[in-house]
Amino acid sequence: MTLDLVRLKQFIAVARERSIRRGAEILEITQPTVSRGIASLESAFSCQLLVRRSDGVELTPAGWLLLGHAISILERVDRAEKEMLQVSQKPARSARTAKAAKGKSSANE
């Protein structure tokens, strides 16, 4: 199974809100979409992540484990995106430019 960042975001929202409905509202998507996303994760991992109750949801031990990993994964993805944006905003150096710069510094020594 490939972890889907969208499903992880859905799971985090539901876990934080303790509600599928409120998680869906925060993400501005439909409740059935979030429910399917959670069910897909549960199916992929062959375990129950949430206990559904009339007043909301409660995480199972597997749900708590996934929550920690999901938060970490999304933080790392966010950090990678920011770093890549910083790199992409710097002027690119081609291999030829890099060789020329290296050659000039070697000649000056």
CATH of domain 5-88: 1.10.10.10
pLDDT digits (tens, 9 = 90+) for 32-85: 999 999 999 999 999 999 999 999 999 999 999 999 999 999 999 999 999 999
pTM: 0.77
Q: How would you write the chain as a 3-class SS string? A: CCCCHHHHHHHHHHHHHCCHHHHHHHHCCCHHHHHHHHHHHHHHHCCCCEEEECCEEEECHHHHHHHHHHHHHHHHHHHHHHHHHHHHCCCCCCHHHHHHHHHHHHHCC
